[in-house]
Amino acid sequence: MTLASALAFLGVAFLALGWFWPRGIGLGAWLYLGAALADAFAKGLFSGPAQPALVLGGLLALRGESLALRPRLTPLRRYLLALSLVLGLFALKALPHPKGELPLPLTLFHAGAFLVAYLALAVGVGAGVLCALQDLRLRAHPERALGAPPLWSLRRLERGYLRVGYWAATLGLGSGMAWAFSYFGSPLSLDPKEVSAFLGWLLFTLYFLLEERLGGRARAALLLLAYALFLFAFLGAPFLGSRHPSRLPF
């Protein structure tokens, strides 16, 4: 594990926190720039695709942080944050990684992060779908509001668990991409388990990006599809010839 890889991974983690903690955007941006500088010292200035991705991602994140106090530009800030996260994951793929067996602490960290993600997202997605469907129901029949659970309580449950689940999934995905070289030959491959987990993470990112503009049915569908991809990565991909180390023995 190189210094540039470690800084880039921490940058992705802090930017994922930036969806809910604005200060995390600035910290993640400076970690990106620090990773680009460390890689430049190690290999030369702009000697590979990781450095431009980190510099661009860091600058976009800094610009997004400057919009935190301008509520009308919140969609632009979220767009810049999502783009910075994708650039950071690309940089983790492009940075050099030593081959060999994965260390046990890292394996436990990777598995533990996804375990937390599955549990938290299960609760958050369930609450989010119920919230969206109840919102549609109450719009059609407002008189039923007295006998229904309050929307604000479902919304608070949804946001709290989705925050934890998304952050844990980002840590799990980033650590897997950064150090899976010994299993795939590349941190990002067309392995069904890795692709489905990455697509699920992208859909959750899209949900946070468009959260305030999605209608009830669209919100429920996007949440269910994103979590279904995570479930497929865990339950379905091993039967499709996945080369992931957690594949089933039959």
Which tens digit of pLDDT belongs to each residue from 180-195? 655 555 555 667 777 8
Average pLDDT for residues 9-18, to the nearest whole number? Answer: 86
Q: How far apart are CA 27 and CA 4, in angstroms?
A: 15
Higher pLDDT, 84 or 69: 84
Which residues, other chains included, contact 162 with Cβ-Cβ below 8 Å and sequence gap of 6+? 120, 121, 124, 125, 128, 204
Of the candidate ranges 23-32, 64-73, 100-109, 189-198, the one whose mean pLDDT is the lowest? 100-109
pLDDT in tens, 74-121: 778 888 888 888 888 888 777 766 555 556 677 778 778 888 988 899
Across 126-148, average pLDDT: 69
Type of residue at 249 = P
Residue 247: the pLDDT is 43
pLDDT on residue 250 = 31
**What single DSSP character describes residue 130?**
H
- The DSSP secondary-structure symbol of 102 reads P
What does the pLDDT read at residue 144?
56
Six token digits for residue 245: 């180390």
Share above pLDDT 90 across residues of the chain, in percent, rounded to a whole number: 7
- 225 — pLDDT class (breaks 50, 70, 90): very high
Supply the pLDDT for residue 30: 93
The type of residue at 34 is G
Contact (CB, 8 A) for 73 and 67: yes
Average pLDDT score, the chain: 78
